[in-house]
Structure 1
Amino acid sequence: MLRMASFPPDRQATFDWFADHEREWSAGEAYRFAVELGGRMVGLVDVDEIKDGEGDLGYWLDRAAWGRGYAFEAANAVVRFAFGETGLSTLKSGHAADNPASGRVLAKLGFVPVDIVERFSRPRGETIQQCRYVLACR
């Protein structure tokens, strides 16, 4: 998720990315949230690629935080924010086909499968099968 971001992230690229968040938020272009656990950042959830009432939901968690429900909890809060506070009517998302746990998070959030496409994954450095989903405002 999260546009297939790599981990561990490049320090300077991450610094530059965070520096642009306030401008994106003010312009309504993207909304990005840190996921914290015990005062430590363990992940990110965002809505970006916002256009014509639609946005893309992405999420990433540190491997140590997997399997505890944090992805659902954080993504659910951001879905509620996106539909309740920003006026978006539709969210899109996706996951690598070999990551079915992420698909279960999306299904639990109410996302509906749309299709499977080939997409280049920057962190993996290869083309993967990506399962894509959509969720209309409830």
Structure 2
Amino acid sequence: MRVSLAPLTNDLAGEYGALLARNARHLDLTPAERHRTPAEHVAEWADTTDRNIRFAVLLEGRLIGRIDLNPVSPPKYSLGYWIDAHHTGHGYATAAVALATRHARDELGATDVYGGVNKGNNASVAVLHRNGFVHVADLGTYDRFHLPLDGGEPRNP
């Protein structure tokens, strides 16, 4: 399994849009999200106000998903990700999360990474658990998980 991360760049916008459209039901996308053009993706990625660090999840060089690190309160980051429905269940999301958290620690100096998972998304909960995340809060429609990268105890911010 050769999973890697690469910056989500403009040259991937068309491929990304097609992958997103194929996964509209899997990701429960709104109609507006389903029909974004490559130019709209490029414009979203160019907007630096959210400061998200966006990565393409690649399997042997082919785009299979996305993972973001959101600098909520550096050195604390939140994590968001999705994998193509046809590529779930093979450990690719687990590998991508491991790569992203390693990047957060080694390149960004992150001390904490948090992840939120919608209720019922047991596959994503399992991905986080396999990467050492611990459940820290029930927030109604979703649960919060925490991975301390500084050797501290898991906590809710």
TM-score by length of 1: 0.74
- Give the Å deviation of 1:38: 5.2
Query: Given the superposition, is the C-alpha separation of residues 48 and 108 from structure 1 closer, same or farther in structure 2, using an over 3 Å criterion?
Result: same
Q: Does 2:77 match 1:65? A: no
- Give the Å deviation of 1:68: 0.4
Query: Given the superposition, is the C-alpha separation of residues 11 and 36 from structure 1 closer, same or farther in structure 2, using an over 3 Å criterion?
Result: farther
Identity %: 30
- Give the Å deviation of 1:96: 1.7
Query: Given the superposition, is the C-alpha separation of residues 42 and 19 from structure 1 closer, same or farther in structure 2, using an over 3 Å criterion?
Result: same
Aligned partners of 1:38, 1:77: CA distance in 2, in Å?
15
Out of 78, 100, 109, the position equivalent to 2:122 is 100
Aligned partners of 1:85, 1:5: CA distance in 2, in Å?
32
- Give the Å deviation of 1:36: 2.2
Query: Given the superposition, is the C-alpha separation of residues 62 and 77 from structure 1 closer, same or farther in structure 2, using an over 3 Å criterion?
Result: same
Which one has the bigger strand percentage? 1
Aligned partners of 1:10, 1:18: CA distance in 2, in Å?
15
Q: Secondary structure of the residue that 2:36 maps to in structure 1?
A: helix
Q: Which runs of 4+ in 1 moved over 4 A?
A: none
Query: Given the superposition, is the C-alpha separation of residues 15 and 60 from structure 1 closer, same or farther in structure 2, using an over 3 Å criterion?
Result: farther
Aligned partners of 1:73, 1:134: CA distance in 2, in Å?
17
Residue 103 of structure 2 aligns with which residue? 81
- Give the Å deviation of 1:134: 0.9
Out of 55, 69, 72, the position equivalent to 1:50 is 72
Query: Given the superposition, is the C-alpha separation of residues 68 and 54 from structure 1 closer, same or farther in structure 2, using an over 3 Å criterion?
Result: same
> Where do 5+ consecutive residues of structure 1 fail to align?
119-128
Residue 45 of structure 2 aligns with which residue? 21
- Give the Å deviation of 1:81: 0.3
Larger Rg: 2
> Where do 5+ consecutive residues of structure 2 fail to align?
1-26, 151-157
Query: Given the superposition, is the C-alpha separation of residues 48 and 111 from structure 1 closer, same or farther in structure 2, using an over 3 Å criterion?
Result: same
Whether the 8 Å CA contact 1:112–1:135 is kept in 2: the answer is yes
Residue 20 of structure 2 aligns with which residue? none
- Give the Å deviation of 1:108: 0.9
RMSD between aligned residues: 2.6
Residue 29 of structure 2 aligns with which residue? 6
Query: How many aligned residue pairs are there?
Result: 123
Q: Secondary structure of the residue that 1:41 maps to in structure 2?
A: strand
